[in-house]
């Protein structure tokens, strides 16, 4: 963990907001199939190390005052630790995923059941979508990724389910196959409601998108933090923010500095073992908005 340093004097004051997350302990973690370029089944994995690293992230959220709910890990579903793909939840409504690959399809009913029991209005999908891996709420708008996992049709569906504007973005680099590997939402609550000095802002990796999507991002988020290829390649963007504390990979050195300059408090957690499955901090974190 890094210690907070004094923010640059001109940077706006940031406020931490309470979060409620869903996580899944990686008790069955391994890499025995490959559905993204990070996964190499021939490389050994260490489940105990995955659990220990995951536990540090869990403990940090608790220490920061957030609430963390747990879903029981299912044997035979080593990717279930990446709960961000388990759904997309706003205002007490849960949109259930339809996983692209058969290896993960058995996770969806378990997540749906968890949401129902937790009191969410649970909506079953018609279209292939991988939850908060590809859908990010920024202020009132849903940024939606496509190209590798969630389909363009799911972007229409998610817009209907939540009655919100959806901005479709095309991912083009197979290493950044989910939107949450290429964009980090820094201020999940809109700036105005937030009482914050700026609009809801993001950080992103320009090289992960096609030209048209990059143009949309430039126009919508003129103040965004542009992350270097180097930091993107170590999953620097796969991070969780509460509006002040931003949990990032210890390898994303440049991003850490950029965050500090903007008045955020970056805190590093190493999930190197879980990166063998192609996931990081955000992948292991699903935000539970509404209901309880």
**Strand, coil or helix: 81:** helix
Residue 87 engages ligand ARG in binding (rule: CB under 6 A): no
| Active-site residue, 283 included | yes
In the range 28-47, which residues lie near ligand ARG by CB under 6 A?
35-36, 39
Burial class of 74 by CB neighbour count within 10 A (0 to 12, 13 to 18, 19+)? middle
Residue from 148, 168, 279, 288 binding ligand ARG (CB under 6 A): 279
**Which part of the chain contacts ligand ARG (CB under 6 A), choosing from 67-75, 78-86, 160-168, 226-234?**
78-86
Residue from 98, 173, 180, 242 binding ligand ARG (CB under 6 A): 180
Residue 271 engages ligand ARG in binding (rule: CB under 6 A): no
Region of 279 please: left (phi>0), alpha (psi -120 to 50) or beta.
beta
Residue 175 engages ligand ARG in binding (rule: CB under 6 A): no
Give me the residue label for tokens 């706006």.
Answer: 12
Residue 97 engages ligand ARG in binding (rule: CB under 6 A): no
In the range 115-134, which residues lie near ligand ARG by CB under 6 A?
133
Residue 278 engages ligand ARG in binding (rule: CB under 6 A): yes
Residue placing its CB nearer to ligand ARG in the complex, 15 or 32: 32
| Active-site residue, 178 included | yes
Residue placing its CB nearer to ligand ARG in the complex, 35 or 57: 35
Cβ contact 2:252 at 8 Å: no
Strands (E), the chain: 20-23, 67-70, 88-90, 93-95, 121-123, 135-138, 141-146, 166-170, 183-185, 202-204, 225-226, 240-241, 245-248, 265-268, 286-287
Tell me the catalytic residues: 178, 283
């Amino acid at each position: 963990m890094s210690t907070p340093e004094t923010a640059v004097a001109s940077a706006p004051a940031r406020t931490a907001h309470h979060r409620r997350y869903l996580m899944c302990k990686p008790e069955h973690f391994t890499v025995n199939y490959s559905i993204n370029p990070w996964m190499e089944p021939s490389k050994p994995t260490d489940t105990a190390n995955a659990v220990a690293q995951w536990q540090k992230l869990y403990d940090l959220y608790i220490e920061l005052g957030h609430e963390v709910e747990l879903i029981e890990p299912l044997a035979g579903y080593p990717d279930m630790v990446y709960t961000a793909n388990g759904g997309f939840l706003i205002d007490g409504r849960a949109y259930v995923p339809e996983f692209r690959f058969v290896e993960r399809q058995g996770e969806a009913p378990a997540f749906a059941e968890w949401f129902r029991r937790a009191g969410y209005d649970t909506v079953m999908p018609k279209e292939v979508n991988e939850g908060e891996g590809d859908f990010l709420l920024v202020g009132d708008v849903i940024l939606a990724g496509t190209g590798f996992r969630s389909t363009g049709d799911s972007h229409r569906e998610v817009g209907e389910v939540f009655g919100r504007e959806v901005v479709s973005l095309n991912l083009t680099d197979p290493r950044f196959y989910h939107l949450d590997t290429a964009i980090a939402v820094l201020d999940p609550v809109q700036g105005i409601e937030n009482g914050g000095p700026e609009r809801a802002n993001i950080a992103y990796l320009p090289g992960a998108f096609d030209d048209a999507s990059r143009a949309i991002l430039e126009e919508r988020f003129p103040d965004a933090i542009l992350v270097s290829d180097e930091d993107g390649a170590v999953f620097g963007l796969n991070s969780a923010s509460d509006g002040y504390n931003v949990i990032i990979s210890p390898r994303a050195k440049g991003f850490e500095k950029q965050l500090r300059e903007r008045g955020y408090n970056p805190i590093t957690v190493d999930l190197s073992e879980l990166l063998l499955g192609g996931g990081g901090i955000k992948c292991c974190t699903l935000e539970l908005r509404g209901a309880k």
